[in-house]
Amino acid sequence: MFYQDAMTALVAALLALVAAADNAPAGKIGGRITLGGLPPKLADLPVTRDFKICGTSKPEEALEVGSGGGVKNVVLWLPEGPKPLAHEAAHKKLKLDQQACQFVPHVLAAEVGSTLDVINSDSVLHNVHATEKEAKAFNYAMPIKGQVVPTKLKTVGVLKLKCDVHPWMRATVQVLPTSAFSVSGEDGSYLIDGVPPGHWKLHLWSERLGERDEEVDVSSGQTTQHDVALTPR
């Protein structure tokens, strides 16, 4: 009898601990992504047609380094982080615009299940061609200024986008299995909100600098500072 009572009390205590952990306020992960050395000099991309609208050249955006060495457009996420809620993701929309023959923004991150609105703000024909692991994801001719084509992001993966009319136009959309993600800004700073307390793997992706994993501990209601220096290449 005593043994059964002790086991019952132990199970109740463990369940209480689990419930307390589940109800603990979420934390955050924030920091700055920098380049640990001199950035490579990347040549501008030549424009070959529609000069009146497109100009004569475009910057190479595969690696953008700001003042103080901050790296823009690094995508960071928790692979095992909180999963997107289907009913919430279904109402989330992101915009990928085409302005002066350039995709804006160059890098996007999105929850699986959300919608990508592809926009043509140019008075010129664009043809948006997206692939995922070399397979065609979608292919849209967009001849009308102001045209918007919505696309449901149904599958986790990396979408590589280009314009078949203007070959210098490129963009990347990371479709993620979690709501815990961020994209570094002009100065390399990032912030991931809504992270449950615990030990997490943080995955980083950069178009030019590649991918890597970091280990991060998050406390309830606190912001964990985690800076990363990437190697130039």
Is 192 within the bounds of a domain?
no
Give residue 143's pLDDT: 98
Model confidence band, residue 134 (pLDDT cutoffs 50, 70, 90): confident
For residue 67, what pLDDT band results from cuts at 50, 70 and 90? confident
- 71 falls within a domain: no
Over residues 149-169, the mean pLDDT reads 97
Q: pLDDT grade, residue 24 (50/70/90)?
A: confident
Domain-embedded: residue 204? no
Which residues span the domain enclosing 98?
83-177
The pLDDT, as a whole number, for residue 18 is 41
Task: Determine, yes or no, domain membership for 1.
Answer: no
Smallest Cα–Cα separation from 70: which of 172, 184, 203?
184
Q: What is this structure's pTM?
A: 0.88
Share of the chain above pLDDT 90, in %: 81
Token pair belonging to 89: 């993701």
Domain annotation covers residue 184: no
| 68-82 mean pLDDT | 97
Q: Give the pLDDT band of residue 3 (cuts 50, 70, 90).
A: low
DSSP state of 101: S
> Can you give the pLDDT at residue 19?
41
Average pLDDT rounded to a whole number, residues 181-210: 97
The pLDDT of residue 81 is: 97
Which pLDDT band holds residue 88 (cuts at 50, 70, 90)? Answer: confident
Total domains, the chain: 1
63 in a domain, yes or no? no
Neighbours of 121 (CB within 10 A): 14
Q: Is residue 58 part of a domain?
A: no
What residues contact residue 93 under an 8 Å CB cut-off, 6+ apart? 114, 115, 116, 117, 150
Whether residue 162 is contained in a domain is answered as: yes
CA distances from 91 to 128, 153, 174 (A): 23, 12, 18
CATH number for the domain that contains residue 98? 2.60.40.420
Q: Measure CA of the first residue to CA of the last residue in the chain; give whole Å.
A: 68
Query: What would the pLDDT profile of 205-221 be if each residue is shown by its tens digit?
Result: 999 999 999 999 999 99
3-state secondary structure of 216: strand
